Amino acid sequence: MGHTTVLQSMLTSIPPDKVSVLVNRMNMNSRTPLEDAESEGKKESVELLKSWQQPVLAAHAAATDKKIAALEEADRHKTKELTKLKEELAESQLQILALRDVGNRKMSDMAAIMERLNRLDIYLRTPTDTDETGDQLHDPQG
């Protein structure tokens, strides 16, 4: 009976969140207080620990469920953010491809214009044309 009274006093004197630690703590024989009480045949202590164990386990399960719910909500939020970022990335990639196509078309257009200008320049030159230094640009063909 003395063990049970001491145990009851201990369980009621500590904060509820610490009861779980006490009830589940292993001793040097790797046994919990419940396992010790059972092995020593302390029936009243076993009943007391079992009566404390159920609410402690329920409270622990509820706290764990809250943590899981919070983590799931954070996960949903992060997943939503990642999805939005992926969509923005895909849109940016499409814009880059479109700009690259425009750039390629402009380069192609510029090359065609330069080719036409070269042909026009050659066509308009006469055999006596000279550059800035006075050198003839063409060999006169006679």
What is the Cβ-side half-sphere exposure of residue 141, based on CA atoms within 13 angstroms? Answer: 3
The amino acid at 66: K
The amino acid at 15: P
pTM: 0.41
Residue-wise DSSP of 66-113: HHHHHHHHHHHHHHHHHHHHHHHHHHHHHHHHHHHHHHHHHHHHHHHH
Q: How many CB atoms lie within 10 A of CB 46?
A: 19
Quote the CA–CA distance of 5 and 33 in Å, as a whole number.
14
What's the pLDDT tens digit per position in 104-124? 999 999 999 999 888 877 766
What's the pLDDT tens digit per position in 41-68? 777 877 777 776 666 667 777 888 899 9
